[in-house]
Structure 1
Amino acid sequence: MKTIIEHIGEVVSKAFEECGYDASYAKITISNRPDLCEYQCNGAMAAAKAYKKAPFMIADEVVEKLSGSSMFEKIESVKPGFININISAGYLADFVNSMSEKEKFGYEPEVTNKTVIVDYGGANAAKPLHVGHLRSAVIGESVKRIQKYAGNNVIGDVHLGDWGLQMGLIIEELRDRKPELPYFDENYTGEYPAEPPFTISELEEIYPTASAKSKDDEAFLARAHEATLKLQSGDKACTAIWHHIMNVSKADLKKNYDNLNVHFDLWKGESDAQPYIPDMIQSMIDSGLAYESQGATVVDIQEDTDTKELPPCIIRKSDGAALYATSDLATLVEREKMYHPDSYIYLADKRQELHFTQVFRVAKKAGIVKPDADMTFLGFGTMNGNDGKPFKTRSGGVMRLENLIADIQDAVYGKITENRTMDQAEARDTARIVGLAALKYGDLSNQASKDYVFDVERFTSFEGNTGPYILYTIVRIKSILAKYAAEGGKTDNLKLLPPVSASEKNLELALVKYLDVMEAAYMDKAPHKICQYIYEISNVFNGFYHDTKILAEQDKERKESYISLISLTKDILLSCIDLLGIECPERM
């Protein structure tokens, strides 16, 4: 479905052509002066140079050609050459009615059905999720949902950190704690136990203890390196412990991601890429792409168009060990073999930009992906405390994500029980939903690349640009519709009448932006644009609500028109928050 701007543009383009000017000058935009008009065309200003004519004369001609069109309530030429446009109430109502009848409200991206891999999450096995994992999870989940909504086949991969020294450290710490386990008996020949030798709580305590010990105990560190090498060489005992680590970790990680309403299609990790590494490196060496430098194997990535020097990508250290870049490249080998994706989207801290520049360029140079492969790195900023520094606990430590979620839900619970009558069970469930909305909206409403301050009081407010405010608006609409239904009002096959008040028209003008907003959010991979939109919708709806006696309206057709309008408003808001990974309670 064409956007309303495209429809206006077609009509104005024809007028430009009929007046003897190129149609390309008839670009229509939303007015940057809504006090003067709703849409505008500034093409006469540019056309003036090409046609050596005063811009107001060109604008006057075009406006004269368009006078009398039923599409416009007002179209006027304003010196020095602007064309100001107000859409007619009847045309606007017809367009909104058309949106309400179509799937996805008429949103139809031009290019769809691509296979897209979204790499987000990035959790580490044997470690709890902490606040540093929040942004990747919630931005990645939203980007994935937007891609799916646009009609693509999207594969979300958590890409776990599950390989390397951390595993050796855990194995050796477990040996020190429980030397009697069969994994540490060199003469043991039976089957290893099916049950893990630790709980998730014990596992999460084992790793930091082992990590701290390795900094002071060189012998222990050496043992950990040896255990890591044995694991990576396929040692049966180390592999059995590793499987226990992964099973226990994944179960806990899935639970925590589920609590965030974040879900992955694949639970792959760095370990899955390991079998591809030897052949991949050898192929780069054989082709002359990779070479030895100070004992390491590297690939140059510098290009003539670069404005600054970029270091070579190390794909194998001097001791033969692989690096993150090696693992990421091998993961691409696996993904190309298994999924044949058309596009890749990676979510990570923006400070990893160089790493992904290196990986993408090596992948293309080595022929792992096509030279023109669509590979995007979405780097996000830092979540900071009120002091402007990365968010910490009061004691200065890194906060567990589940504790952060609990804190914000408690804050919402306090506000719900303070002002509303609701039983405890419902209040807790509502606080869970609204608290998660506060957390996710507080993050997603910021442009991903920007740092932002995490402020519990502001994020949980029921006023202003917050998740609770958006949800409260939806719940308000649900309440009106429920009362209307209880009074016997029909809700099927309702049609909008042309708006009669400024606030009614403003709401319809906001709704018709949906198609443009969805396309921008999809093309730019930008959830914050959806947040901006639903905040605008919420504001103009509440303006309409305060100006209009919806249920008290005596004219039956007008009342049904109001119900149709707010029903569509609710549906669009619900569609948008779903793309953000946010749910809505029945009441607040």
Structure 2
Amino acid sequence: MKKMLDLLSAEVAKAFAEAGYDEKYARVSLSNRPDLCEYQCNGAMVAAKEYHKAPIMIANAVVEAMQGSEVFGEVQAVNPGFINMKVNNEYLSQYLNGMEKDERMGCEKAENPKTIMIDYGGPNVAKPLHVGHLRSAIIGESVKRIARFAGHKVIGDVHLGDWGLQMGLIITELRERKPELVYFDEAYEGEYPAEAPFTISELEEIYPTASGKSKQDEAYKEAAMQATYELQHGRRGYQALLKHILNVSVTDLKRNYANLKVDFDLWKGESDAQPYIPDMVQKMKDGGYAYVSDNALVVDVKEDTDTKEVPPCMLLKSDGASLYTTTDLATIVERMKLYNPDEIIYVVDKRQEMHFIQVFRCARKCGLVTDKTKLKFLGFGTMNGKDGKPFKTRDGGVMRLEYLLKDINEEMLKKIQESRPMEEKEAEETAKIVGLSAVKYGDLSNQASKDYIFDVERFTSSEGNTGPYILYTIVRIKSILRKYEESGKKAGEGKIGAGRSDSEKALQLELSKFNSVMETAFEECAPHKICAYIYDLANAFNKFYHETKILATDDMEAQSSWISLLLLTRRVLETCIDMLGFEAPEKM
């Protein structure tokens, strides 16, 4: 189904051609003065240069050619050469009825579906998820859902941090505590125990303890580095411990991500890329790309057009150890071999931009990807507290993600209990649903690259540009539809009619933008565009609702038409919040 703006542009193009002007000037856009018109075309202003005429002369000729159009209700040429338009009410209602009949409400699937991999999440094993992991998970999940809705094959990968010094630290601390464990006996050749020698709680305590010791005790740090080296070079006992660390950590991570309604197709980590490193490095050497500088193996990635310094991409340190850069490059090799993606999107803190510039350039220079493979860095800003600094607990520590969600849920439960009576269990479930909308919408309504203030009080409000306000609107629509059917009538039997009031038409105009918004959100990896849209849509609906006696009217034809309009509004809103990663309750 074509986008409304494309249909309107095609109609205006006919008028430009009829008036003797090039159709390329006929692009229609939403009006920047909605008090004057709904759509506008500024093509006459540009065409004036080519045709050496006053813009208003061209605009008047085009408007004259548009008289009698079934698409537009009002068309006007305005000095110095704008063409202002209002769409015909009947034409608009026909468009919406077409949306209503379509399973995807006017959104066409990609003609040539791509395979897209999204790298988001990125937690380190043996550590609890904290608020710093929130944005990657929320943004990545939304981008994944939007791309799937657009018709592409999308593979989400958590990309665990499971290979660096932290593993050596855990092994070293575990050895100090339990030296008798069979994993530390190099002569042992039997099967290792199936059960881990630690719980998730113990594991989460082991790492910070070990990290603290390594900063004060040089010998301890050396032992951890040696353990890391031995792990990475295949020591059996340490490899078995790594499997235990992964199993225990991933089980806990899956539980926490499930609470966020975030899921991954792949639970791969840096360790999965390790087998690809030796061949990759050798090929870079053989191809003349990699060379030794200050005892480290590097690849130059600077370009003549660079306006700032881009350091060489380091592959191996002087001791032969790999780095994040090496692992990220080897992960690209693995992904190309196993999945051959057309595009890989990295949803990562924007402060890592230089790292990914180096990685992407090195991958291209050394032929790890094809010329057509798109590598995209979607860098996000910081989630800050009200003081404008990175969000912390009251005592200044980094807040665990599950504690943040718990606080939000408790705040929502309190508000729900204050606003309406509800059974305790139902209230708790509703608080979880609405609380998640508060967190996700609060994050996603900001452009990903921008820092934002995480304000619990504002995010949980049912008024203003918030998740709860959007859900409150959906719940209100559900309530009206429920009451309509309880009166013995069947919703959806009527057609959406021509707007009978300004507020009804305003709602219809917002609905007609749906496919255009979804297309833009995909092309720009921009969930915030969906948030802005549904906020406008919710506002338009609530204005219509307050001005219209939907259930109290005696005009059955109008009522049936309005109910069909509400059904479409609910479908669009629910589809959009699904793209954002949350859902609406039945009651609030």
TM-score by length of 1: 0.99
Could you tell me whether the CA contact under 8 Å between 2:110 and 2:151 is conserved in 1? no
Q: Which residue of 1 aligns with 2:259?
A: 259
Q: Which residue of 2 aligns with 1:497?
A: 497
Q: Deviations over 1:507-564 (max 9, x none)?
A: 0000001011011101000000000000001000000000001011211111110000
The 2-side partners of 1:362 and 1:191 are apart by 41
The within-5 A match list for 1:213-362 is 213-362=213-362
Could you tell me whether the CA contact under 8 Å between 2:273 and 2:334 is conserved in 1? yes
Could you tell me whether the CA contact under 8 Å between 2:136 and 2:347 is conserved in 1? yes
Q: Which residue of 1 aligns with 2:480?
A: 480
SS of 2:104's equivalent? helix
The count of aligned residue pairs is 588
The 2-side partners of 1:109 and 1:358 are apart by 34
The within-5 A match list for 1:448-527 is 448-527=448-527
SS of 1:249's equivalent? helix
Q: Which residue of 1 aligns with 2:64?
A: 64
State yes or no: 1:87 paired with 2:95: no
Deviation at 1:110, TM superposition (A): 4.7
Give the aligned residue type for 2:25.
Y
Q: Deviations over 1:317-368 (max 9, x none)?
A: 1111111110000001111110011111001000111111111111111111
SS of 1:314's equivalent? strand
Q: Which residue of 2 aligns with 1:119?
A: 119
Q: Deviations over 1:147-201 (max 9, x none)?
A: 0000000000000000021111111111111222222334544322111111101
Q: Which residue of 1 aligns with 2:556?
A: 556
Q: Deviations over 1:418-450 (max 9, x none)?
A: 121001101100000100110010000000000
Query: Which has the higher mean CA deviation after the structures are superposed, 550-559 or 470-479?
Result: 550-559
The within-5 A match list for 1:133-212 is 133-212=133-212
SS of 1:465's equivalent? coil
Q: Deviations over 1:242-298 (max 9, x none)?
A: 111000000000000000000000000000000010110110111111111111111
The 2-side partners of 1:206 and 1:395 are apart by 22
Query: Which has the higher mean CA deviation after the structures are superposed, 187-196 or 439-448?
Result: 187-196
The 1-side partners of 2:188 and 2:276 are apart by 31
Q: Deviations over 1:14-63 (max 9, x none)?
A: 11011111101111000000000000001111111110101111111110
Q: Deviations over 1:195-237 (max 9, x none)?
A: 1111101100000000001111111111111111111111111
Q: Deviations over 1:297-324 (max 9, x none)?
A: 1111112222223111111111111111
SS of 2:375's equivalent? strand
Could you tell me whether the CA contact under 8 Å between 1:109 and 1:519 is conserved in 2? no
The within-5 A match list for 1:370-519 is 370-519=370-519
Could you tell me whether the CA contact under 8 Å between 2:503 and 2:543 is conserved in 1? yes
Could you tell me whether the CA contact under 8 Å between 2:174 and 2:206 is conserved in 1? yes
Could you tell me whether the CA contact under 8 Å between 1:114 and 1:153 is conserved in 2? yes
Q: Which residue of 2 aligns with 1:368?
A: 368
The 1-side partners of 2:186 and 2:326 are apart by 33
SS of 1:103's equivalent? coil
Could you tell me whether the CA contact under 8 Å between 1:118 and 1:154 is conserved in 2? yes
Give the aligned residue type for 2:431.
A
Deviation at 1:381, TM superposition (A): 0.1
The within-5 A match list for 1:16-31 is 16-31=16-31
The 1-side partners of 2:299 and 2:188 are apart by 44
The 2-side partners of 1:195 and 1:311 are apart by 45
Could you tell me whether the CA contact under 8 Å between 1:38 and 1:86 is conserved in 2? yes
TM-score by length of 2: 0.99
Q: Which residue of 1 aligns with 2:131?
A: 131
**Structural RMSD (CA):** 1.0
Could you tell me whether the CA contact under 8 Å between 1:112 and 1:150 is conserved in 2? no
Query: Which has the higher mean CA deviation after the structures are superposed, 234-243 or 445-454?
Result: 234-243
The 1-side partners of 2:247 and 2:293 are apart by 39
The 1-side partners of 2:64 and 2:129 are apart by 64
The 1-side partners of 2:203 and 2:110 are apart by 49
Deviation at 1:111, TM superposition (A): 4.5
Query: Which has the higher mean CA deviation after the structures are superposed, 475-484 or 190-199?
Result: 190-199
Q: Deviations over 1:111-161 (max 9, x none)?
A: 541100000000000000000000000000000000000000000000000
Q: Deviations over 1:81-122 (max 9, x none)?
A: 110000111011000111111121111155541100000000
Could you tell me whether the CA contact under 8 Å between 1:56 and 1:82 is conserved in 2? yes
Q: Which residue of 1 aligns with 2:545?
A: 545
The 2-side partners of 1:392 and 1:400 are apart by 9
Q: Which residue of 1 aligns with 2:35?
A: 35
Q: Which residue of 2 aligns with 1:580?
A: 580
SS of 1:292's equivalent? strand
The 2-side partners of 1:506 and 1:558 are apart by 17
Query: Which has the higher mean CA deviation after the structures are superposed, 252-261 or 188-197?
Result: 188-197
SS of 2:561's equivalent? helix
SS of 1:104's equivalent? coil
SS of 1:497's equivalent? coil
The 2-side partners of 1:181 and 1:292 are apart by 41
The 1-side partners of 2:54 and 2:560 are apart by 49
The 2-side partners of 1:242 and 1:11 are apart by 64
Query: Which has the higher mean CA deviation after the structures are superposed, 106-115 or 286-295?
Result: 106-115
The 2-side partners of 1:471 and 1:497 are apart by 26
The 2-side partners of 1:184 and 1:290 are apart by 37
The 2-side partners of 1:169 and 1:225 are apart by 8
Could you tell me whether the CA contact under 8 Å between 1:448 and 1:526 is conserved in 2? yes
Deviation at 1:238, TM superposition (A): 0.8
Deviation at 1:71, TM superposition (A): 1.4
Give the aligned residue type for 1:118.
I
Query: Which has the higher mean CA deviation after the structures are superposed, 12-21 or 300-309?
Result: 300-309
SS of 1:305's equivalent? coil
The 2-side partners of 1:561 and 1:189 are apart by 76
SS of 1:191's equivalent? coil
The 2-side partners of 1:112 and 1:177 are apart by 57
Could you tell me whether the CA contact under 8 Å between 2:342 and 2:372 is conserved in 1? no
Could you tell me whether the CA contact under 8 Å between 1:364 and 1:373 is conserved in 2? no
The 1-side partners of 2:183 and 2:310 are apart by 45
Could you tell me whether the CA contact under 8 Å between 1:345 and 1:377 is conserved in 2? yes
SS of 1:129's equivalent? coil
The 1-side partners of 2:96 and 2:51 are apart by 38
The 2-side partners of 1:84 and 1:72 are apart by 10
Deviation at 1:240, TM superposition (A): 1.2
SS of 2:378's equivalent? strand
SS of 1:106's equivalent? coil
State yes or no: 1:105 paired with 2:105: yes
CA distance 1:309–1:188, change in 2 (3 Å)? closer
SS of 2:426's equivalent? helix
The 2-side partners of 1:186 and 1:67 are apart by 89
SS of 2:76's equivalent? strand
Give the aligned residue type for 1:98.
G
Could you tell me whether the CA contact under 8 Å between 1:106 and 1:515 is conserved in 2? yes
State yes or no: 1:565 paired with 2:565: yes
